[in-house]
């Protein structure tokens, strides 16, 4: 008797577990030659990942190559915990972040197959929070294809504050500011995928993590995959410490002994798994939804999920194909709607997976290094070594990049942007080579090439910065490639006509009446901190005297306090928890933000101050002053030339979890709070990062001469 599909699916967890679990290793080892590949070629691909570790592009990682369902290379590199000296091991468990999305999408495809959902099902029919004018038109298909108009993320509180788990996350998304009208554009969105997770819970009547376990992980034999870490000591022992930052600037925000990041399962980003387990999942889609003799997905579900629907505008190193987005899959094809050549996904903590069905090839590259674009470098290696037969040329390029240049000093310096009079680039030489930064915008490491004076701007190697150097002496300029043009940035040469740094510092301190703080004593200012894009705001209080400060903010259900001491220490506490002391760059950044010291103590705060030039912008003359602190990267202070008022600052800042990013600060609504002390009552912070919203401080009231000694004294830190 032929079983009807719906009956088969009701038993799918039982039926499909048998053939997969019986085979402990679905990808047994094999020599590359037995599978039509070359051992030297794969060793070269491994050398490339080793180079990424050596150049500090990543802290550690694992490379797993599977051909014809046989493992032809599996190797670990670098450190699972650099501070502890623990080396990375094969088969460790990684947080794959956005590589969770295809698994959530797989459950949705199952529900579509079963008729429990339709692509045109309106979200408002299942989630009442979406039953409002601007969200009522959103359908399941809009969420699958990231065309709902939801922002990348709408989470603005600690996850432990969402009482109803992912349903609360979806409700908050419904109340957020939308990027565009439903169905008119594409915006990659965690919020949209988490809303799908809430829909799954409503339709199935089960928590999302249980549904995923029963419908995907168990049937595929993914026994080294975890949806929740609470109580999973065996899993946590195999998870490497998480790092964020970038080349030469890695810091460890989380280690396996720390508090779990996800108290409930987010369909956008919460899965932990091994490379081999994720490969099991990829084979489900490579095999048209089949597992053994059973169908977990219909052929139509496979076509729906992988069909390129929107241009992701995301770079790749594969020749002749673009990166598109299907239904919670990255799909690589020659055009929209075309049959994909390969598919896969990556995760923001540095995990990547690619699958070529026609080649029966899977490559998995997992790291724990958030903020790295090293996946592009691995793609470049796959393309040139495995597909184009350019192993010898690739080996030569890799050797050239590994060489340490001895004449980098000729390239160091400040170079002016020819199209923007207030912007410039700073090129520095260090142990790892050259870096380039544009205050307020970005900082990145340059990659050496085989051609002297030519440096790649990214791992793909297609955008190259070229220095123009005379026969003797330093470079005069460099050519910077943009999308459709090349700009010539010219080395800064002091004219000698500018005011000296001491004159500017005096001018700023005098304009703001900074010395009045001695007579005013301790100041208390109260107002609000807001994130307009997320419709969040909360109370803000700043208490300070001439050398110390305490700032307290409550927003999104989270209260945090930050103390800056007279000797430059930074103490923080969140939600009344144990206080912590930050060191290095984070401490100095806080010191530089003190409302009085930053106006008058330039000689103590900075090791170098240089007045670069005076420019005119919209009829206003501005001094551009380069300041370089002791530890952190330098910044540009923008000073009104007539009054001496500080109107803005462009810098590169270290943001926890995101690394070094550009930050533009603008000061406004200056008021006299007594004795001539002029302070801004409105401050805008614009981080040059797509996932960090604009923040605005607004003060409404102030007091001077307050008794706040207890408030300015930080709590003791127990180390």
For residue 11, being part of any structural domain is answered with no
Can you give 661-698 as a three-state secondary structure string? Answer: EEEEEEEEEEEECCCCCEEEEEEEEEECCCCCCCEEEE
110 and 60, same domain (yes or no): yes
Choosing from 439, 456, 491, the residue where a domain stops is 491
The pLDDT value given to residue 670: 96
Q: Would you place residue 25 in the very low, low, confident or very high pLDDT band (cuts 50, 70, 90)?
A: confident
Backbone angles phi, psi at 598, to 5 degrees: -70, -15
What's the CA gap between 57 and 53, in Å, rounded?
6
CATH code, domain carrying 658: 2.50.20.10
Q: What is the CATH number of the domain that holds 165?
A: 3.40.710.10
Q: What is the mean pLDDT of residues 532-545?
A: 90
pLDDT in tens, 286-320: 999 999 888 999 999 999 999 999 998 888 999 99
End position of a domain, from candidates 393, 423, 442: 393
Residues 151 and 194 in one domain: yes
Q: In terms of domains, do 256 and 215 share one?
A: yes
Give yes or no: residues 368 and 459 share one domain.
no
User: For residue 431, what pLDDT is reported?
Assistant: 67
- Over range 674-692, report the average pLDDT: 92
| Averaged pLDDT, 503-515 | 93
Q: Please report, rounded to a whole number, the percentage of residues in the chain having pLDDT higher than 70.
A: 94
Tell me 517's DSSP state.
H
Confidence bin at 24 (pLDDT 50/70/90): low
Torsion sign over Cα 405, 407, 411, 412: positive
**pLDDT for the residue 20:** 36
Q: What are phi and psi of 82, to 5 degrees?
A: -70, -40
Residue 714 has pLDDT above 70, yes or no: yes
Do the domain assignments include residue 4? no
For residues 348 and 429, state if they share a domain.
no
Residue with the larger pLDDT of the pair 429 and 197: 197
Residue 49 domain flag? yes
Give the lowest-confidence range in 382-396, 450-464, 680-694: 450-464
Tell which wins on pLDDT, 667 or 531. 667
Query: Mean pLDDT across the stretch 207-229?
Result: 96
**pLDDT exceeds cutoff 90 at 401:** no
Least confident of 107-116, 300-309, 396-405, 548-557: 396-405
Domain identity same for 220 and 133 = yes
Q: How far apart are CA 110 and CA 504, in angstroms?
A: 67
The confidence band for 41, taking pLDDT boundaries of 50, 70 and 90, is: very high
Asked if residue 454 and residue 347 are part of one domain, the reply reads: no
pLDDT of residue 429: 86
Domain check: are 258 and 115 in the same one? yes
CATH number of the domain where residue 484 is located: 2.40.128
Residue 64 lies in a domain: yes
Taking Cα atoms as reference points, which of 542, 541, 524, 553 lies closest to residue 695? 553
Residue 382 has pLDDT above 80, yes or no: yes
Q: ∠156-157-158 over CA atoms, to 5°?
A: 140
The total domain count for the chain is: 3
Q: Answer yes or no: is pLDDT of 19 > 50.
A: no
Q: Mean pLDDT across the chain, nearest whole number?
A: 90
Are 438 and 310 found together in one domain?
no
Instruction: Report whether 683 contacts 669 (CB < 8 A).
Output: no
Same structural domain, 294 and 416: no
Going by DSSP bridges, is the β-strand pair 369-370/606-617 parallel, antiparallel, or unpaired?
A: unpaired
- Is the pLDDT at 14 greater than 60? The verdict is no
Examine residue 267 and state whether it is found in any structural domain, yes or no: yes
Q: Where are the alpha helices (DSSP H) in 529-672?
A: 585-592, 597-600, 602-605
Residue range 1-25: mean pLDDT, rounded: 34
Average pLDDT of the segment spanning 252-256: 87
State whether 443 and 579 are in the same domain: no
| Average pLDDT rounded to a whole number, residues 518-526 | 95
Beta strand ranges found along 224-350 (DSSP E) = 242-244, 251-254, 272-273, 290-291, 294-295, 310-311, 322-325, 330-333, 342-347
pLDDT reading at 12 higher than 80: no
Q: Please state the three-class secondary structure of 93-116 as a single string.
A: CEECHHHHHHHHHHHHHHHHHCCC
User: Quick one: pLDDT band at residue 87, thresholds 50, 70, 90?
Assistant: very high
Per-residue confidence (pLDDT) for residue 9, from 0 to 100 = 30
Q: Residue 454, Cβ neighbours under 10 Å: how many? A: 16
Q: Which of 367, 393, 419 is the last residue of a domain?
A: 393
Res 3 pLDDT > 70: no
Residue 582 belongs to some domain of the structure: yes
Lowest mean pLDDT among 100-104, 207-211, 586-590: 586-590
| Same-domain status, 114 and 178 | yes
pTM: 0.77
Element (H, E) at 9: helix 5-10
The structure tokens listed for 120 are: 């045109």
Alpha-carbon distance 615 to 479, whole Å? 23
Contact 521, 546 (CB under 8 A): no
Residue 717 lies in a domain: no
Domain span including residue 244: 29-393
* Residue 399, in any domain of the structure: no
Bigger pLDDT: 31 vs 689 = 31
pLDDT at 402: 61
Q: Rounded to 5 degrees, what are φ and ψ at 250?
A: -80, 135
Residue 246: count of CB within 10 angstroms of its CB: 23
């Amino acid at each position: 008797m032929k079983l009807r599909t719906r009956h088969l699916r009701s038993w799918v967890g039982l039926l499909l577990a048998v053939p997969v679990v019986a085979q402990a290793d679905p990808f047994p080892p094999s020599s590359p030659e037995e599978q039509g590949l070359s051992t030297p070629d794969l060793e070269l691909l491994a050398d490339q990942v080793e180079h990424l570790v050596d150049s500090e592009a990543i802290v550690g990682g694992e490379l797993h190559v599977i051909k014809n369902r046989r493992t032809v290379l599996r190797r670990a590199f670098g450190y699972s915990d650099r501070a502890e000296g623990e080396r990375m091991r094969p088969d460790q468990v990684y947080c794959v972040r956005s590589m969770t999305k295809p698994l959530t999408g797989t459950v949705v495809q199952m529900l579509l197959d079963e008729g429990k959902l339709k692509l045109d099902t309106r979200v408002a029919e299942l989630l009442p929070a979406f039953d409002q004018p601007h969200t009522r038109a959103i359908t399941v298909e809009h969420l699958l294809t990231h065309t709902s108009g939801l922002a990348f993320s709408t989470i603005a509180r600690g996850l432990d504050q969402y009482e109803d788990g992912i349903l609360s996350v979806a409700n908050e998304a419904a109340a957020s500011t939308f990027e565009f009208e439903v169905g008119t554009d594409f915006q990659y969105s965690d919020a949209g995928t988490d809303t799908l997770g809430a829909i799954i819970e409503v339709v199935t009547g089960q928590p999302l993590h249980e549904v995923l376990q029963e419908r995907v992980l168990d049937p595929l034999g993914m026994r080294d995959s975890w949806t929740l870490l609470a109580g999973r000591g065996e899993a946590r022992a195999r998870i490497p410490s998480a790092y964020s930052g970038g080349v030469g600037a890695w810091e460890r925000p989380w280690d396996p002994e720390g508090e779990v990041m996800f108290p409930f399962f987010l369909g956008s980003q919460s899965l932990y798994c091994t490379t081999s387990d994720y490969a099991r999942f990829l084979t489900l889609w490579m095999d048209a939804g089949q597992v053994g003799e059973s169908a977990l997905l219909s052929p139509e579900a496979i076509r729906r999920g992988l069909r390129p629907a929107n241009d992701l505008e995301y770079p790749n190193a594969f020749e002749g194909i673009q990166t598109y987005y299907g239904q919670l899959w990255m799909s690589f094809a020659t055009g929209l709607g075309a049959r994909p050549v390969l598919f896969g996904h990556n995760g923001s903590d540095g995990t990547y997976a690619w699958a070529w069905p026609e080649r029966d090839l899977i490559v998995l590259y997992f790291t724990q290094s958030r903020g790295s674009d090293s996946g592009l470098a691995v793609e470049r290696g796959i393309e040139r070594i495995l597909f184009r037969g350019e192993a010898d040329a690739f080996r030569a390029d890799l050797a050239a990049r590994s060489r340490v240049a001895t004449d980098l000093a000729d390239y160091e310096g400040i170079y002016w942007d020819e199209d923007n009079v207030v912007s410039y680039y700073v090129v520095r030489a260090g142990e790892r080579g050259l870096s380039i930064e544009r205050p307020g915008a970005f900082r990145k490491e340059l990659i050496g090439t085989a051609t002297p004076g030519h440096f790649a701007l990214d791992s793909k190697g297609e955008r190259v910065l070229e220095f123009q150097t005379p026969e003797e002496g330093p470079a005069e300029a460099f050519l910077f490639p943009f999308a459709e043009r090349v700009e010539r940035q010219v080395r800064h040469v002091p004219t000698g006509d500018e005011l000296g740094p001491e004159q500017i510092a005096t001018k700023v301190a005098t304009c703001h009446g900074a010395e009045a703080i001695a007579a005013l004593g301790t100041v208390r200012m109260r107002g609000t901190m807001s994130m307009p894009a997320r419709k969040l705001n909360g109370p803000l209080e700043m208490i300070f005297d001439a050398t110390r400060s305490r700032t307290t903010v409550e927003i999104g259900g989270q209260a945090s306090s930050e103390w800056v001491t007279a000797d430059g220490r930074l103490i923080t506490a969140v939600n009344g928890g144990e206080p912590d002391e930050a060191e290095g760059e984070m401490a100095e950044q806080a010191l530089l933000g003190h409302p009085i010291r930053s106006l008058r103590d330039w000689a103590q705060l900075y090791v170098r101050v240089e007045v670069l030039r005076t420019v005119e912008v919209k009829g206003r003359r501005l001094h551009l002053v380069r300041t370089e602190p002791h530890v952190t990267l330098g910044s540009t202070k923008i000073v009104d030339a007539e009054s001496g008022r500080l109107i803005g600052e462009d810098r590169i800042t270290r943001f926890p979890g995101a690394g070094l990013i550009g930050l533009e600060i603008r000061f406004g609504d200056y008021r006299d709070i007594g004795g001539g002390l002029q302070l801004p009552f409105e401050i805008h912070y614009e981080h040059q990062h797509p996932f960090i919203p604009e923040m605005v401080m607004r003060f409404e009231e102030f007091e001077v001469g307050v008794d706040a000694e207890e408030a300015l004294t930080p709590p003791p830190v127990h180390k």
